[in-house]
Amino acid sequence: MEDARGPAPGQEAAPHYLGHRDRLRARFAQSGADALPDYELLELALYRAIPRRDVKPLAKALIRRFGSFAEVISAEPARLAEIDGIGPAIIADLKLMEAAGHRLARGALAERPLLSSWSAVLDYCRATMAFSAREQFRILFLDKRNHLIADEVQGRGTVDHTPVYPREVARRALELSATAVILAHNHPSGDPTPSATDVKMTREIIGALDPLKIVVHDHIIVGREGHASLRGLKLI
């Protein structure tokens, strides 16, 4: 039996991190995620995959490398594997959390007119793309009531370019019987400011869809530093 002086002879002391885990879980249960800094929230996420080790140093190493909780779970598996102590089980858990976040954000768009739920659209675009290391171009296809028909990634590219073909966008919109679209892509640099290429490409897509009476409601660009709306900026 352990007393105030330590464990009894022949009995090992409980690992110091177990008490820390219990306290961290209690704080999370009582106050929620907002009460925890990113590295502590990441510690909680790592407990299941690493039940018998102090994970605080690993959580802090991940935050140092990637910057934030969101950037850790959004990081590419190959980059996560570069961190000493990160194996397939941990990567799988982190990517599962990322997928769950995407599903939650997408669920907020279901069965509602997107133009009257613009904050949910922005949250979804940010959750799915803002922290990606590579550009991706996403299209939300809408029906005549502006309800979501499909959400598709039309292209993935490099750190600063994604090829997009207006004719392919038009073809897919016709296949889905869409009457409107919302375009979205990310800037891995973090700065969502539209480039001249972004504006030119958007206008080319509008030119391809306009004869088909398919409306482009907006083109949203997201990055770690926020978002930009081409329509809000009066660029389209």
Whether the pLDDT of residue 114 is over 70: the answer is: yes
pLDDT over 80 (residue 226): yes
Domains held by the chain: number: 2
Between the CA atoms of 34, 35, 38 and 41, what dihedral angle is there, to the nearest 10 degrees?
-100
For residue 208, tell me if it sits in a domain: yes
Q: What percentage of the chain carries pLDDT values higher than 90?
A: 54
Residues 118 and 225 in one domain: yes
Domain that holds residue 191: 113-229
Whether residue 9 lies inside any domain: the answer is: no
Domain boundary among 79, 103, 127: 103
Q: Crossing angle for the helix pair 88-107 and 118-129, nearest 10 degrees?
A: 170
More confident: 204 or 120? 204
- 73-85: pLDDT as tens digits: 989 999 999 999 9
Residue 228: pLDDT over 60? yes
CATH number of the domain to which 209 belongs = 3.40.140.10
Final residue before a domain boundary, out of 103, 133, 152: 103
Locus of tokens 């995959």: 49
Instruction: Give the pLDDT mean for 94-119.
Output: 83
Residue 214, in any domain of the structure: yes
**Band of the pLDDT at 160, cuts 50, 70, 90?**
low
Structure tokens that stand for 132 in this block: 């990606």
Q: What is the pTM of this model?
A: 0.74
Residue 165 and residue 116: Cα distance in Å, rounded? 29
Does position 59 have pLDDT exceeding 70, yes or no?
yes
Instruction: Specify which residues 226 forms β-bridges with.
Output: 223
- Please indicate, yes or no, whether residues 192 and 151 belong to a single structural domain of this protein: yes
In a domain, 24, yes or no: yes
Tell whether 108 is covered by a domain. no
Residue 6 falls inside a structural domain = no
Structural domain ending residue among the three candidates 103, 134, 159: 103
